[in-house]
Structure 1
Amino acid sequence: MKNVLLCVTGSIAAYKAADIANRLTKDGYHVEAVMTESAQELITPLTFRTLTKNRVYSNMFQEYEPDKVEHISLAKKTDLCLIAPATANIIGKIANGIADDMVTTVVMALKDVPVYICPAMNTNMYENPIVQRNIKTLSELGYYFIEPKSSYLACGDLGKGALADVELIVETVEQHLKK
């Protein structure tokens, strides 16, 4: 069974990550969720624990299992990491090597593991030259991106920045894992 690490960040699209977790779990993948503090303001860890039947990780300093360094343990058993939704903040942190929460420390500990990043943010944020530079940097380093779509956004704006369709995200992940 392939292990998918689903990293959920503080975009309003975080509720769609529950559908991603549910679909991947039903398709036979072992899914573990890692959440930022901001993500937990939008959706609860209980949702992911219920859908995946697995523990949800969020606190770098909580002892989940005795004698384990959780971010290293998670990184070692991951076959694919999916960051959905990915905020401008998390993209910037990863692009600049900042590891100050459970999501970023696990991502920094991954080695030879594909990381798919699914941006979700306001159009102006997505098109910001700094965000685009961070995306370019990560792409050059071998990170994969599933582009956001154009849609009406939570703020009422129309433009590119909405999380890609759940079906596309799940299909992309499953195709990669079947290689």
Structure 2
Amino acid sequence: MTKTILLAVSGSISAYKAADLVSHLSKQGYVIHVLMTQAATDFITPLTMQVLSKNPVHLDVMEEKIAGRINHIDLGKEADLFLLAPASANTLAQLAHGMANNMVTATALALPAELPKLIAPAMNTKMYNNPLTQANLASLKQLGYQEIPPKSALLACGDHGQGALADLDIILKKVEESLSE
């Protein structure tokens, strides 16, 4: 049976890596529905994600193209896994505090409790280690989210430390584990 993954992409320089993630997951036979924050579109185009996923990209929580369908509700009902990669500090904070002001956060808020939910943070080291970000991650873990921790690397800003998006093979392995449980 084909599994469906909701890939949520938030505004991080690592958003371009989501294209490679979609490509790999699609080649493995998964159905991928991409959700993007507006900030994510500053780093990678929705068209790229649409071509790779072979599905429309969901950007606007208020855009309902099919009468009788409420995307941010129905997508969660149809999914086998929710993956937020990259997860920006802003999107983590919004999720941890129950905000639903974009397609990613509204969909996440409406997900079934039992649905596996993965988050792969990507941000500056100081932002990742900030007590507020760590508290938001702790809150999300209590709500059933599993973190795929960022790696230490030379970051786009020139700093070196933990904050780079986890390697693709690590994310793919965690997806496989979550879907086989």
TM interval, short-chain normalised: over 0.9
Give the Å deviation of 1:175: 2.0
State yes or no: 1:77 paired with 2:78. yes
Q: Which runs of 5+ in 1 are unaligned?
A: none
> Which residue in 2 is equivalent to 1:113?
115
> Which residue in 2 is equivalent to 1:100?
101
> Which residue in 2 is equivalent to 1:91?
92
> Which residue in 2 is equivalent to 1:175?
177
State yes or no: 1:6 paired with 2:7. yes
Give the Å deviation of 1:33: 0.1
| Structure 1 segments (4+ residues) deviating >6 Å | none
Q: CA RMSD in A?
A: 0.7
Give the Å deviation of 1:66: 1.9
Q: Could you tell me how far apart the structure 2 residues matched to 1:65 and 1:162 are?
A: 38
AA at the equivalent of 1:121 = M
Q: Secondary structure at the match of 1:13?
A: helix
Q: Could you tell me how far apart the structure 2 residues matched to 1:52 and 1:42 are?
A: 17
State yes or no: 1:133 paired with 2:135. yes
Q: Could you tell me how far apart the structure 2 residues matched to 1:75 and 1:48 are?
A: 19
State yes or no: 1:122 paired with 2:120. no
Query: Percent identity at matched positions?
Result: 48
Aligned residues: 179
Give the Å deviation of 1:29: 0.5
Q: Which runs of 5+ in 2 are unaligned?
A: none
**What does the per-residue CA deviation read over 1:96-154, in whole Å, with 9 as the maximum and x for residues that have no partner?**
11111000000000011111000000000000000001111111221100000000000
AA at the equivalent of 2:83 = L
Q: Could you tell me how far apart the structure 2 residues matched to 1:6 and 1:141 are?
A: 19
**What does the per-residue CA deviation read over 1:14-63, in whole Å, with 9 as the maximum and x for residues that have no partner?**
00001111100000100010000000011001111111111110011112
Between 56-65 and 95-104, report the one with greater CA deviation: 56-65
| Length-normalised TM-score, structure 2 | 0.97
Q: Could you tell me how far apart the structure 2 residues matched to 1:176 and 1:115 are?
A: 8
Give the Å deviation of 1:64: 2.4
Q: Could you tell me how far apart the structure 2 residues matched to 1:105 and 1:63 are?
A: 14
Alignment of 1:46-57 (within 5 A): 46-57=47-58
Q: Secondary structure at the match of 1:57?
A: coil
AA at the equivalent of 1:46 = L
AA at the equivalent of 1:147 = P
